[in-house]
Structure 1
Amino acid sequence: MGLLFLLSATLLTPPVSAGDSARAVPAPRPGLLQSASFRARPPAKRYSVTVPIGKPQPAPPLPRVEGPDDARLPLVVIDPGHGGHDPGAISPYGGRREKDVTLALARAIRDQLVATGRVRVALTRGDDRYLVLEERYGIARRLKADLFLSIHADSAENEEARGASVFTLSEVASDREAAKLAARENKANIINGVDLGAHGGEVSSILLDLTQRETMNVASDFARLLQREAANEVPFRSNAHRFASFVVLKAPDTPSVLFETGFLSNKDDAAFLTSRAGQQKVARGVREAVQIHFARRIADERQDSTR
Structure 2
Amino acid sequence: MFDNSSNPWDRRKFLGAVLGTSTAVFGLVAPEKVLAARVINAVQTTRQPDYTRYVFKVNGPLDYKTFSLDNPPRVVVDLTQTQMSQIEIPPAPAGSVVSDLRVGIHNGYDLRLVFDMKAAVKPRMLLLPPSDGQGYRFVVDLPHDKAATLVARDAADPDSKPRIQTQQTFRDIVIAIDPGHGGKDPGAIGRRGTKEKHIALDIGRRLQAMVAATPGLKPVMTRDSDRYIHLRGRTAIARRAKADLFVSVHSDAFRVTSARGASVFCLSQGGATSEAARWMANRENEADFVGGASIADHDQDVASVLLDLSQTKTLENSLDFGHRVLSQIGDVTDLHSKRVQQAGFVVLKSPDIPSILVESAFISNPTEEARLRTAAYQNEIARSILAGVNTYYAERAPEGTRYAML
Mapping 1:116-127, distance limit 5 Å: 116-127=214-225
- State TM-score, norm by structure 2: 0.50
**Alignment check: 8 A CA contact 2:265 2:356 kept:** yes
Distance 1:280 1:261 in 2: 11
Q: Is the 2:170–2:400 Cα contact (8 Å) retained in structure 1?
A: no
Please identify runs of 4+ aligned residues in structure 1 that moved more than 4 A.
67-71, 247-251, 299-302
> What secondary structure is seen at the aligned counterpart in 2 of 1:149?
strand
Aligned to 2:236: 138
Change beyond 3 A, Cα 1:264–1:250:
farther
Distance 1:188 1:99 in 2: 20
Partner residue of 2:292? Answer: 192
What's the offset of the Cα at 1:118? 2.7
1:235, distance to aligned residue in structure 2 (A): 2.0
Q: Kindly indicate whether the alpha-carbon contact (under 8 Å) linking 1:138 and 1:251 is maintained by their aligned counterparts in 2.
A: no
CA displacement at 1:183 relative to structure 2: 3.6
Tell me the CA shift for residue 247 of structure 1. 5.0
Larger CA deviation: 160-169 vs 235-244 = 235-244
CA deviation vs aligned residue, 1:108-156 (integer Å, no higher than 9, x gap): 1111121222300011000011111111111111211110001111111
Counterpart of 1:162 in structure 2 is 260
Cα distance between partner residues in 2 of 1:103 and 1:248: 26
Q: Contact 2:174–2:245 (CA<8 Å) still a contact in 1? A: yes
Structure 2: how far apart are the matches of 1:145 and 1:257? 13
Structure 1 CA distance, aligned partners of 2:248 and 2:350? 12
Structure 2 segments unaligned to the other structure (5+ residues): 1-123, 125-140, 144-168, 296-300, 402-406
Cα gap change, 1:143 to 1:248, in 2 (>3 Å) = farther
Instruction: Work out which of the residue numbers 180, 183, 204 in structure 2 matches 1:106.
Output: 204
1:301 deviates by: 9.7
Q: TM-score w.r.t. structure 1 length?
A: 0.66
Distance 1:167 1:104, change over 3 A: same
State the AA in 1 paired with 2:318: A
Q: Which structure has the higher relative contact order (CA within 8 Å, separation 6+)?
A: 1
Considering fraction of residues, name the structure with more strand. 2
2:199 and 2:372 in contact (8 A); partners too: yes
- Separation (CA, whole Å) in 2 of partners of 1:248 and 1:118: 31
When Rg is computed on C-alpha atoms for both structures, the one with the higher figure is: 1
For each residue in 1:64-111, what CA deviation from the matched residue of structure 2 results, as whole angstroms up to 9, or x when unmatched?
A: xxx99986121000101111111110001x201011110001001111
* Structure having the larger proportion of residues in helix: 1
How far 1:298 moved relative to its partner? 2.3
8 Å CA contact 1:90–1:98 kept in 2: the answer is: yes
Paired residue for 1:266?
365
Aligned-residue sequence identity (percent) comes to: 37
SS at match of 1:153: strand
Q: Distance in 1 between matches of 2:335 and 2:350?
A: 26
Are residues 268 and 191 of structure 1, via their aligned partners in 2, closer, same or farther at CA, if it must alter by over 3 Å?
A: farther
Equivalent in the alignment of 2:69? none
> How far apart, in 2, do the equivalents of 1:114 and 1:223 lie?
21
Aligned to 1:76: 175
Contact in 2 for aligned 1:219/1:255 (Cα 8 Å): yes
Secondary structure of 2:360's match?
A: strand
